[in-house]
Chains A and B, each alone.
Chain A
Amino acid sequence: MSKPAILTPDPWQRLQGLTRARVALGRAGVSLPTREVLRFGTAHAQARDAVHQALDVASLQADLQDAGFASLAVSSQATDRSMYLRRPDRGRCLAAESLALLGDRGPSLWAPRPRLAVVLADGLSSLAVARHGLPLLQALQPYFPDLPGLPVIIASEARVALGDEIGQALGAGQVVVMIGERPGLSSPDSLGLYLTARPRPGLTDAQRNCISNVRPEGLNYPEAARKLAFLIAGALKLGRTGVDLKDDSDTALPDTARPAVGLGA
């Protein structure tokens, strides 16, 4: 025996093929059908987990090691997630022992005054950096063959500006912070890239360049690497990052976007 129809369907499901927005959901009376409440709840649960899950630093470090990247792990002055969320100022400053670690161990791992330092930061989605950090570095390597010799820092409870202090401690010419972005319901693992020339504390976002929504379903690794390489080369030439450095990578000729310049000391 078939059940009587309870839901009012929306006979415009074909619109679902035009957007990822939650259109044509149908309704139970005026309300969301059970399946949609569960689908939404699951997406929210995944986004929440992405915010609160701690980055597995040891495993990321091991993967980097296997791929030929030496790394150091540091933390901000935000001692836990709750403080991180309430006190963005703490997330922008290195813990004292982390600052000391960069000074003690850095010189044995990397040449002094590197042109570029990479910071893999948890930000608001540890999932993003855990999934996309290493693949993005590998996609970047064809542009910069000496990338494995450059500092890679894994930063926990980190905001973007933490890279300024890290970059300064290493004497880096530029720092790129690859950081988990504020997760959306349909994008819990989106990575943001922030490039800053002559990093030092006190800079504002107007002095950085940003590439956002890096993930396979958004801006994929090869595209993100191409844009980042373009900006790094542009910043080298211009001597600064920020509003004066324009991302014209989409209109640039393909081979000018492959500056195979060495970035090492």
Chain B
Amino acid sequence: MTYACTLGFRRHVFGDLKTLLAKASPARSGDMLAGVAAASEEERMAARIVLADLPLARFLQEAVVPYEHDEVTRLILDGHDTAAFAPVAGLTVGEFRDWLLSDAAESASLQALAPGLTPEMVAAVSKLMRNQDLILVAAKCQVVTRFRNTLGLPGRLAVRLQPNHPTDDPRGIAASMLDGLLYGVGDAVIGINPATDSLPAITTLLRLIDDFREQYEVPTQSCVLTHVTNTLRAIDKGAPVDLVFQSIGGTEAVNRSFGVSAALLDEANAAALALGRGSVGNNVMYFETGQGSALSANAHHGADQQTLEARAYGLARRYQPLLVNTVVGFIGPEYLYDGKQIIRAGLEDHFCGKLLGLPMGCDICYTNHAEADQDDMDTLLTLLGVAGINFIIGVPGADDIMLNYQSTSFHDALYVRRVLDRRRAPEFEDWLERMGIADFRGNLLPQGEQQALLALAATL
């Protein structure tokens, strides 16, 4: 099937669905690098006009990445829920945008629809949406997950405490962890990116957080973000593993480059579930994603990076994860060039993930070789706060001294709580009050001698 339209004197033809989606995508450096972006602004609009008239059902007939060659495509199409799809089955992509914005789409109907949508449908409609549309629709979605606390409730925002250290020094990590907790951060997860993949080092870190969590009865979960095979080995050795972490992408080939497959993720998911460590729920997976990963692994099949990112969510939802984090600005300017592209991508990822039923968070971040700065992060943080994001990242002073990039700070989290009235996970909020870290409204209290965590800090 070819896709075409005429604008003025010019006829625009798009060879297949993959090309149509790529050309309709908002401009970004990664699609230009891949050679799949629209060649002109007019061509981009022509692609959107054609896309708007395309029946949603077409996505069930034409795959962006071939079904025979790609297990992610097979998971998406084989797992499609026809009954859930029924309410929008007769719509075009343009009509679907209108429907999502209409009052017919509210929290319950969107939740029921999620299994009937494919990542490609969701990516397609996002390409017809302005930033405010992405925010408005995402804000209507509600995705609640649980392990030792409840994440994603309306009016709530959680933060991952990320106390990284360049040499995994336990005291250095503990210092950042205490700083974060005293700033009321850590309800999403206390999650460390280790500098090494050595099993003893990973086990040491897991025990460090777990011992602390048990001693102070912190209602949260911990994670050391190492490869899934290392986590499986750690589970095997009896280490205290709450969550299984893994980076994933939108094609079988990019996942192969990460050293993972659906079968391996199935195995890890089962192993973590069998531990039964959750107290209020058992969502045990933590995934990270980001636009551009498939291209950087030369595994993009000529598809645009935003569509492939949505396909990663298609894989993630198989596991009912506790957390899905799009690490939006980490990959660098050859994929997302500047603040404008990073902000747009962050909103797209959050929207697509939420519509597919995932508990989306975002590492609102940039590297020093991207054309971006703190002002851009403030903008994206505010927009995602309004859009109802489940969680963000908290790093001391926004400066990750291990991964060498800038994310959001503990102060940033306080800012977004203050201006948007977003509260922490209820169990964690109660704990902060019990510990005298925050008052019953969630405002931080001045600290002094009587603070138990300060006594602990004095012993480090």
Contacts and interface: CB of A to CB of B under 8 A. Distances in A.
Contacts of A188: 368
A72 to B, nearest CB: 27
Given A21-B175, A21-B399, A25-B397, A30 B411 contact: yes
Interface in B445-460: 446-448, 454, 457-458, 460
Contacts of B164: 21
A11 interface: yes
A10 B447 contact: yes
Given A15-B178, A88-B334, A21 B368 contact: no
A36 B176 CA distance: 17
Given A11-B454, A27-B411, A21 B178 contact: no
Interface in A1-31: 8, 10-12, 14-16, 18-25, 27, 29-31
A213 B404 CA distance: 11
Interface stretch (B71-79, B140-148, B165-173, B424-432): B165-173
Nearest to A12: B457
Nearest to A37: B374
B57 interface: no
A11 B448 contact: yes
A70 to B, nearest CB: 32
A207 interface: no
Nearest to B411: A32
A181 B404 CA distance: 10
Nearest to A32: B411
A18 B405 contact: no
A21 B163 contact: yes
B54 interface: no
A26 to B, nearest CB: 10
B457 A22 contact: no
A239 to B, nearest CB: 26
Given A15-B178, A15-B460, A36-B397, A185 B406 contact: yes
B110 interface: no
Contacts of B119: none
A99 B400 CA distance: 39
Interface in B26-40: 29, 32-33
Interface string A37-63: 000110110011011000000000000
Contacts of B178: 12, 15
B208 interface: no
Q: Determine the interface band of chain A, counting residues with CB < 8 A from chain B.
A: 35 or more
Contacts of B25: none
Contacts of B454: 11-12
Contact of A86 (B171, B337, B447): B337
Nearest to A11: B447
Contacts of B5: none
Given A15-B178, A15-B460, A40-B399, A30 B404 contact: no
Interface in B304-341: 332-334, 337
Given A15-B178, A30-B411, A48-B368, A40 B401 contact: no
A34 interface: no
A181 B447 CA distance: 40
B421 to A, nearest CB: 13
A187 B404 contact: yes
A263 interface: no
Interface string A207-247: 00000010000000000000000000000000000000000
Contact of A22 (B166, B367, B396): B396
A87 interface: yes
Nearest to A87: B33
A18 B175 contact: yes
Interface in A142-201: 181-188, 190
Interface of A: 8, 10-12, 14-16, 18-25, 27, 29-32, 36, 40-41, 43-44, 47-48, 50-51, 85-89, 124, 181-188, 190, 213
16 contacts: A11-B447, A12-B447, A15-B175, A18-B169, A19-B165, A21-B176, A22-B409, A30-B415, A31-B415, A40-B374, A43-B399, A86-B337, A182-B369, A183-B369, A184-B405, A185-B401
Which 8 A/B pairs are nearest by Cβ-Cβ distance?
A22-B397, A184-B404, A30-B414, A19-B172, A23-B179, A47-B368, A15-B175, A18-B175
